[in-house]
Amino acid sequence: MADAATVLALLPEAGSVALVDSRFTGHTHSLRLALTDPRWTASAVPGAVAAHTGARAALARATMRSHDLDALAVQLDTQLQADGDRLVRPELGSLVAEVPQDAAGRRKAEDAVAAVDEEKVRLNSAVKSRDGFFTTFFISPYSKYLARWCARRGLTPNQVTTASLLTALIAAGCAATGTRPGYIAAAVLLILSFVLDCTDGQLARYSLRYSTLGAWLDATFDRAKEYAFYAGLALGAARNGDDVWALALGAMVLQTCRHMVDFAFIEANQDASGNARTNAAISARLDSVGWTVWVRRMIVLPIGERWAMIAVLTALTTPRIVFYALLAGCALAALYTTAGRVLRSLRTRDSRTDRAVQALAALADTGPLAEGVAALGRGRLPAGAGPVAAAIGGLAVIGTALFTPAGSRWPLIGALVYVVASGLAVARPLTGRLDWLIPPVFRVAEYTTFLVLAARSDADGALPAAFGLVAAVAYHHYDTEYRIRGGAGAAAPWLVRATGGHDGRTLVAVAAAALLGGADLTLALTAVALVVAVLVLVESIRFWVSSGAPAVHEESGEPA
């Protein structure tokens, strides 16, 4: 190890290095997993250790204190944990990685290597271990071979992701024709887009070609593809005299709010060990009854089942029926997941970590108006009352927008109540058991208010304008979650202020409906949508293509 320390000292400080024992016996893919995966700062398998730029200093220190690679890996892990990082030991499964101590041990290791079909293991490991029923049994059995085909031809995951997006956009264009052949073509192309969507991740895992930009593209394009298809169906229905924009917007609102429930709950409990044990115990009990595994995965209507349902109904029925089915399915999934998570939260005794509290505050997307109220209302509400205050504010703005006469000033009063209630809801740190519900409640209030205002307006184009506004704001909220998940924290404070926060945007929309109305409301909603979209997209693209962006790992939990 002294020679290794000398060599490391001569190498440039930037870049990746690997130390491999000359006696290493094992599969090539074992080394590939340990030495080339760009997601980890440092990683190791028996007989090999790799460190990238961020772990080079820790590797140099560990090398001076170690006599072999196994001891080096332990020392490196200790050094990294002191710096808030860790050494990753990839799961090898049936792959072999050993350092034989004698000839007999080497022969035994070589026999173990020969007994395993390395390519088959590598191909199967490209498929997610936890996925939806439709994806597991109808897509992955052949998409993994497509991923290998792409890898052997030098195609990158980002290229496949882009192909999936383009395919979905063409599908949306076919749906917009409003003809039966167009609907059938749209259905086929939507499934093809989903096959490519599975393939890009499998290609990344097969070839270990992960990237920050790729993670961002994959996550955001999924939402863009689905919501573009909703718009295509609405345009197609309009060609046949059926206005389903309200249903399309409702489906987008419901689907996005369901995701926000998932995000907020996961972030609130990310570091709570007791929660993890409770949830694992519940899952283990349910998994002991085999059929419940797939029922629980299907009832949440993950992306595979959802897109399959959309495709089949698009080909065989009308856009209106597609949206009815989508709303019913998403509503059932939302009730199931939200109820389960509320019950789990009520049973837990864990305190929330500072990181989780900060994540929930970022997901709340509180604007300057509500922040001002929060500053004045510190300590005025009892602990745990935040979700109630948020719900009261949401009901006030939605109720006045929905039930008062069009053009009245009551919705303005409701919006002001919402601003005050929102500020009071976040005046305390979000440490209560159910405080993770506050960000999703804000999403429901804001998005539903846009929907109600547009649906009650007689203005042409108000609903499509509201659809665009919700899409722009939802992108902002998804982007915030992906930043938090990547360890980069919240979006820049200036961006939250510039876009007004959920409270400011809601107040602006309500004021536009109350004071303008008619065609002016469509213009106002369109203008707000464009401003939000430009600000959010420019900052998001700048962040994710920058060298300082985090390496986002694969999503955990239920499929999207």
**Domain residues for 18?**
3-115
Chain segment 371-399, per-residue pLDDT in tens: 999 999 887 788 889 999 999 999 999 99
Q: What is the pLDDT of residue 7?
A: 78
In a domain, 32, yes or no: yes
Q: Domain boundary at 98, 115, 132, which? A: 115
Q: Which conformational region is residue 86 in: left (phi greater than 0), alpha (psi within -120 to 50 degrees), or beta? A: beta
Q: Distance (Å, rounded) from C-alpha 377 to C-alpha 372?
A: 9
In a domain, 292, yes or no: no
Residue 428 tokens, joined: 């305390």
Chain segment 65-75, per-residue pLDDT in tens: 877 888 889 99
In a domain, 284, yes or no: no
Domains held by the chain: number? 2
Q: Domain boundary at 115, 148, 169, which? A: 115
CATH number at residue 404: 1.20.120
Residue 107 has pLDDT above 80, yes or no: yes
DSSP 143-194: HHHHHHHHHHTT--HHHHHHHHHHHHHHHHHHHTT-SHHHHHHHHHHHHHHH
In a domain, 242, yes or no: no
- The one-letter amino acid code at 374 reads A
Q: Any bridge partners for residue 45, and if so which?
A: 48
Confidence band, pLDDT 50/70/90 cuts, at residue 60:
confident
Q: What is the pLDDT of residue 281?
A: 52
Specify burial of residue 87 (Cβ count, 10 A radius: 0-12, 13-18, 19+): buried
Q: What is the pLDDT of residue 555?
A: 44
Averaged over 491-502, what is the pLDDT?
93
In a domain, 106, yes or no: yes
Q: Domain boundary at 115, 147, 162, which? A: 115
Averaged over 182-205, what is the pLDDT?
97
Mean per-residue pLDDT over the chain, rounded: 90
Q: What is the pLDDT of residue 284?
A: 53
Averaged over 4-10, what is the pLDDT?
76
Higher pLDDT, residue 15 or 398? 398
Q: What is the pLDDT of residue 103?
A: 94
Higher pLDDT, residue 405 or 115? 115
CA-based angle 519:420:479, to the nearest 5?
Answer: 70
**Long-range contacts, 151-157 (Cβ 8 Å, 24+):** 151/203, 151/206, 151/207, 155/203, 156/203, 156/209, 156/214, 157/200, 157/201, 157/203, 157/204, 157/207, 157/209, 157/210, 157/211, 157/214, 157/218
Q: Distance (Å, rounded) from C-alpha 433 to C-alpha 425?
A: 14
Residue 310 has pLDDT above 80, yes or no: yes
Confidence band, pLDDT 50/70/90 cuts, at residue 104:
very high
In a domain, 241, yes or no: no
Chain segment 329-338, per-residue pLDDT in tens: 999 999 999 9
Q: Dmax over Cα atoms in the chain, in whole Å?
A: 89
Residue 552 tokens, joined: 């986002």
Pairing of strands 42-45, 25-26: unpaired
Q: Any bridge partners for residue 43, and if so which?
A: 50, 88
Percent of the chain with pLDDT over 70: 94
In a domain, 240, yes or no: no
Chain segment 415-473, per-residue pLDDT in tens: 999 999 999 999 999 999 999 999 999 999 999 999 999 999 988 899 999 999 999 99
In a domain, 484, yes or no: yes
